[in-house]
Amino acid sequence: MFDSAAYDDLFASIDEVKAHRAAFVSELKTGSVVLAEVFARASVDPVLSAMKVLPAIEALPETGKVSTRRAFGELGIDEAALISDVPATAIDALPSAIVRHAL
């Protein structure tokens, strides 16, 4: 099994992942990261690619929960999908779908 040092390493790794995700969500909330960057950064960052896409998009300023969920439904994106699971065609159509449903 694991010894206490292995557990300490495991929990330290988990804390690093949580901090990395929290920093990214904070950047999203402040608007320093735009929608296109979410997918671009996730394509090279395994921690971000394993995040659920819905909370990431909802964290963007002026992106409402209802309009985001309606856009996901229109584009066939599962609300539980990871960022890495969103097809390129949906990524391209997502901004206009969110705006369309926000009106």
User: Does the pLDDT value for residue 29 go beyond 80?
Assistant: yes
Average pLDDT score, the chain = 91
pLDDT grade, residue 41 (50/70/90)?
A: very high
Query: Could you give all domains of the chain from N- to C-terminal order, each with its CATH number?
Result: 4-102 (1.10.8.50)
- What phi and psi values does residue 40 have, to the nearest 5 degrees? -65, -45
Tell me what the mean pLDDT of segment 78-88 comes to.
Answer: 94
Which DSSP string do the residues of the chain spell out, in sequence order?
---HHHHHHHHHHHHHHHHHHHHHHHHHHHTSS-HHHHHHHHTT-HHHHTSBHHHHHHTSTT--HHHHHHHHHHHT--TT-BGGGS-HHHHHHHHHHHHHHH-
pTM of the model: 0.81
